[in-house]
Amino acid sequence: MTFDADLNACAALVQQGDADRFAATMASPVAARRILFPLYAFNVEVSRAPWVTKEPMIAEMRLQWWRDALEEISEGRTPRRHEVVTPLSDVLTPDQARALDGLVDARRWDIGSDPFEDEAEMWRYLDATTGTLLWTAAQALGAAPAEEVALRKTTRAVALANWMCALPELEARGKRPMYDGRPEKLAQLARAALADLTAQRALGKASRLVLLSGWRARGILKAIARQPQRVARGDLVTPQLARSLTLIRARLTGRI
């Protein structure tokens, strides 16, 4: 089964912009890659949009471009020709396209510099971004609707681990990402997220395949729970050998 130029372009975008999801997708069956690469490439492009310019209005316009593309898909119109939009339109149902519109809207928070007001607002953002992306991917792979609650609970752990890794860079770019950045609070959040990972036991094959994209989450959260100061130091990088072994174990066991 070969990829066309658009799917190859999507894979390249993910490889450049989201190394963990690229590795996880390459460890997945080829048929699944045809679904996952357009979705993950879409996420890379949307997540970049607020950062490629210092002009808020231009950032808003970039995000609106993606919302317009999703609207075309949701309404059954022929979507604009684009290396990501075109294969994405082959993956999404109208309802899924409407759900992803909420992901794009949530990314508007990235344009400003204000911190989240509280923990609830942080979780709304993470649920709307990582949670919606991974649930949409699971649906596209055939996950049952009854799995949504368990999958979204598990993806909270994935989202938090990714968020903690991104905090130093966000702060370097002028963001104030955490409503409470005390080490003890970070450790508390990590411990709670580790408990959320138990929800994956209720998931089927498609959802587990999508969760493979969070294969480093458990190790990251354990490190934060033990030594939360590592977040501020940006010291959550996993050595290459450990990365490979962790991914292989997750693929073989179906759990992250």
Contact 161, 193 (CB under 8 A): yes
pLDDT for position 177: 86
What is d(CA 81, CA 63) in angstroms, rounded to the nearest whole number?
A: 17
Contact 107, 63 (CB under 8 A): yes
DSSP per-residue codes, 23-51: HHHHTS-HHHHHHHHHHHHHHHHHHHGGG
pLDDT for position 106: 97
Residues of the chain scoring pLDDT < 70: 1-2
User: pTM to 2 decimals?
Assistant: 0.95
Name the 3-class secondary structure at 75.
Answer: coil
pLDDT for position 1: 47
Q: Domain-by-domain residue ranges, the chain?
A: 1-112, 113-256
